[in-house]
Amino acid sequence: MELQLSMVVLEVGDLEASIRFYRRLGLDLPDPDPKRPMVIHRMGSGVSLLLMKGFAPAYDPAWTPPSGGYSQMLEFYVGEDAAVDSTFDDLVAAGYHGRMAPAQTVGPYAAMVDDPDGNVILLTSDEAGSSEGS
């Protein structure tokens, strides 16, 4: 069997705040079950995003939240270059930290925004991934 990435799990500090952010980004997240502090969204690619509160500290006594920077980015293709601009503008206007304004990088047209837990969300144009892309 070929190894597959099936899920990205984010330990979050405030589940409701994270749900608001990812819904604003465009994910159709369900409301959490009051008995389970988590939500999951399966994307068309087959990869799921799981937001949960309390799992890491409950099962890993050495776990501490990251501080002083970030070690990963979650990349979301949002559409054409104009969609990168409008998504970035919408999230920043809603109060989320804009880490990098939309710009042409050495790769795709991209922008970076922090989610409520400081995870860096890379917003990119899917034009770079198409065979006709820039």
**Cα angle 61, 63, 14; round to 5:** 115
d(CA 130, CA 108): 11
**Residue 24, pLDDT score:** 97
Domain check: are 49 and 75 in the same one? no
Domain check: are 52 and 80 in the same one? no
* 66 within domain boundaries: no
Q: Sort strands 38-42 and 48-52 into parallel, antiparallel or unpaired.
A: antiparallel
Contact 54, 100 (CB under 8 A): no
**Residue 134, pLDDT score:** 42
3-state secondary structure of 47: coil
> pTM here?
0.83
How many separate domains does the chain show? 2
Confidence of residue 112 (pLDDT cuts 50, 70, 90): very high
* 64 within domain boundaries: no
**Residue 130, pLDDT score:** 55
Domain check: are 43 and 81 in the same one? no
d(CA 110, CA 21): 18
The amino acid present at 111, given as its one-letter code, is A
Q: Which residues of 111-128 are buried (b: 16+ CB within 10 A; e: fewer)?
A: bbbbbbbebbbbbbbbbb
- pLDDT per position as a tens digit, 11-66: 999 999 999 999 999 999 999 998 889 999 999 989 999 999 988 888 898 988 88
* 90 within domain boundaries: yes
